[in-house]
Amino acid sequence: MDDAAYVVAFAKAAVAAGAVALRIESVAYLRAVRPAVAVPIVGIVKRDLDDSPVRITPFLGDVDALAEAGADIIAFDATDRTRPASVEALAQAVRGHGKLSMADCSTIEDARRAHALGIDYLGSTLSGYTGGPEPTEPDLALVAAMRELTPNVIAEGRIRVPEQARAAAAAGAHAVVVGSAITRTEHATAWFDEAVREGFACAPGASILALDIGGTKIAVAQVEGGTIRREAIVATRPADGPDAWIAAAQSAIADWSLSFSGIGIAATGVLSSEGWYALNPETLPIPNNYPLVERVTEIFGAPAIAVNDAQAAAWGEFIRGGHGGKNLVFLTISTGIGGGIVVNGQLLEGLSGSFGLLRGPANGGGPLEGEVSGRWIAAEAARAGHDCDAAGVFKRASAGVAWAEGIVAQSAARVATLCRDIQMMLDPDHIVIGGGIGLASGFLDRVRENLAALDPRLMPNIVPAKLGAKAGLVGVADVAARRLADRKTA
Ligand SMILES: CC(=O)N[C@H](C=O)[C@@H](O)[C@H](O)[C@H](O)COP(=O)(O)O
């Protein structure tokens, strides 16, 4: 598309569609376009310099050439970086030709300086291009901040779809520049290509192998488009170590003739860029920083990703639980308490959602899960002289046995406090509760009863989990499909 004939054709098409001005790069293209359209033209020259990162109209001579070629407005880099000509000198040169000036800014500080120099238009052009990773969205916050300085704000950079152009205008832009989405057809085509590939990975036919490695069992499933096609479960033998756990998963599916595009691993503990490690080695004694993703990739021969099991389950409930909304907190209350948080449709990872490790209310500041979970319920029963597990305590509580009711009530009250605190911190649309204790008969009702006196506006919306033990498999398969598709197109 880098050809004067195409540039002229794009220019005419833009004007025919309603564009009130054009931004044209290079003196040659400006000369070609000038006689073809009647609208004002913002002219720039782009250069790659050895001794300066400034690319847009760096030299005073560029200003002269653009003015001569018929630009009405001349734009130049207005960032505070090493440069051949100062912003002030460029602005003066533009003024000297009787033209209007546009400052291509990267920050509000650039804009302030440019405005103080009397530059006519402030553009958000260079936001995101002066270091660090390139953002994907337009910088509308900068547009809005510049609008506080002057109404002559031009929104520019990464405006790809009409909705973003509308939002830029609504944020206070006087004009909106759309570049690549219109003229770099090779880029626009690549965006669609990427989106389609991402879709393929989540499509009904795409198979993901999902592993859910917990303290007592390992579930392996073939997941297609969010549906579990087959599943196998093997016991985790904690003492054997991770190589053996992976080998057990592999032998569990030895007779599946299966091809899959990727692997998602949901696992207890923390999955960090350094590897896999246990927060609570009692659940599973994971050696520190075990390279789980690398080993699984090697052994199964397909690309893998890994996510904490409760976080994977949170994602599974978010995408398939039918709860609605964009924000959700998931709690699984069983032998311990796991959790996951989805904010604005994004899953939080790392340590987030380690609700079981919050400080409990009892003396000593021990972890909350040690004062709520199934293990605690059974231990409380034993302390009271009754030999039964958590399920037995629940059975007796439902039958109205006072000591059992007391234990369940205490656990539910602590979960209620946790839900209240979560609501205050994150204000999620739903708090989804799963796990053997969380879903035990009457437990959620008791949690809600404890919150009955709360101001209704602060009341958490507590709902039961829908996917049960499958949530982690479904969730991690989806995370894998998305990430692996991203990787393919990166
Ligand atoms: C950073 C930089 O060099 N921007 C340049 C400025 O002229 C152009 O490459 C961009 O295409 C233009 O700003 C429009 O933005 P987008 O193509 O994202 O709609």
pLDDT in tens, 15-34: 999 999 999 999 999 999 99
Distance 157 CA to ligand 1 centre (A): 5
What value does the mean pLDDT take over residues 303-315?
A: 95
**pLDDT, position 361:** 86
The whole-chain average pLDDT of the chain stands at: 94
The residue among 3, 7, 13 whose CA lies nearest residue 34 is 7
**pLDDT, position 281:** 87
Distance 166 CA to ligand 1 centre (A): 18
Distance 34 CA to ligand 1 centre (A): 20
Distance 161 CA to ligand 1 centre (A): 15
**pLDDT, position 257:** 77
**pLDDT, position 134:** 87
Say yes or no to pLDDT of 211 above 90: yes
What value does the mean pLDDT take over residues 30-46?
A: 98
d(CA 312, CA 212): 9
Distance 85 CA to ligand 1 centre (A): 21
pLDDT confidence of 203, banded at 50, 70, 90? low
d(CA 57, CA 85): 10
Strands (DSSP E) found in 380-438: 430-434
Say yes or no to pLDDT of 168 above 80: yes
pLDDT confidence of 201, banded at 50, 70, 90? low
What residues contact residue 285 under an 8 Å CB cut-off, 6+ apart? 238, 239, 278
- Coil, helix or strand at residue 334: coil
The structure tokens listed for 230 are: 């087959």
Say yes or no to pLDDT of 397 above 70: yes
Domains and CATH numbers, the chain: 4-183 (3.20.20.70), 207-312+472-489 (3.30.420.40), 323-465 (3.30.420.40)
**pLDDT, position 196:** 78
**pLDDT, position 198:** 63
Phi-psi region of 427 (alpha: psi -120 to 50; beta: other; left: phi over 0): left
Identify the residue whose C-alpha is closest to ligand 1 atom 1. 126
What residues contact residue 227 under an 8 Å CB cut-off, 6+ apart? 204
Residue with tokens 């989106």: 195
Counting ligand 1 atoms within 8 A of each CB, the residue from 156, 159, 191 with the most, and so the one to mutate, is 156
The residue among 351, 307, 9, 5 whose CA lies nearest residue 182 is 9
What value does the mean pLDDT take over residues 320-335?
A: 94
Say yes or no to pLDDT of 205 above 70: no
pLDDT tens-digit map of 107-152: 999 999 999 999 999 999 999 999 988 898 999 999 999 999 999 9
What value does the mean pLDDT take over residues 348-367?
A: 88
- Coil, helix or strand at residue 304: strand
For CA atoms 78, 81, 83, 85, the dihedral sign is: positive
pLDDT confidence of 488, banded at 50, 70, 90? low
The residue among 90, 8, 101 whose CA lies nearest residue 54 is 90
What value does the mean pLDDT take over residues 375-396?
A: 95
d(CA 140, CA 163): 12
CA atoms within 13 A on the CB side of 292: 31
**pLDDT, position 147:** 98
**pLDDT, position 443:** 95
**What is the value of pTM for the model shown?**
0.59
Identify the residue whose C-alpha is closest to ligand 1 atom 15. 157
**pLDDT, position 261:** 84
**pLDDT, position 30:** 98
**Ligand 1 shell residues, CB under 6 Å:** 44, 55-56, 125-126, 129, 156-159, 177-181
pLDDT confidence of 193, banded at 50, 70, 90? confident
The residue among 260, 249, 282, 286 whose CA lies nearest residue 271 is 286
Beta strand 337-343 with 328-333: parallel, antiparallel or unpaired? antiparallel
What value does the mean pLDDT take over residues 443-459?
A: 95
Distance 95 CA to ligand 1 centre (A): 24
**pLDDT, position 204:** 61
Cβ atoms within 10 A of the Cβ of 134, count?
Answer: 8
d(CA 469, CA 312): 11
Say yes or no to pLDDT of 490 above 60: no
Index of the ligand 1 atom closest to the CA of residue 23:
7
Which DSSP category does 421 fall into?
Answer: H
d(CA 142, CA 167): 13
Strands (DSSP E) found in 304-400: 304-308, 328-333, 337-343, 346-347
d(CA 454, CA 418): 14
What value does the mean pLDDT take over residues 92-105?
A: 98
What value does the mean pLDDT take over residues 252-261?
A: 85
pLDDT confidence of 345, banded at 50, 70, 90? very high
Identify the residue whose C-alpha is closest to ligand 1 atom 6. 125
**pLDDT, position 482:** 86
pLDDT confidence of 368, banded at 50, 70, 90? very high
pLDDT confidence of 376, banded at 50, 70, 90? very high
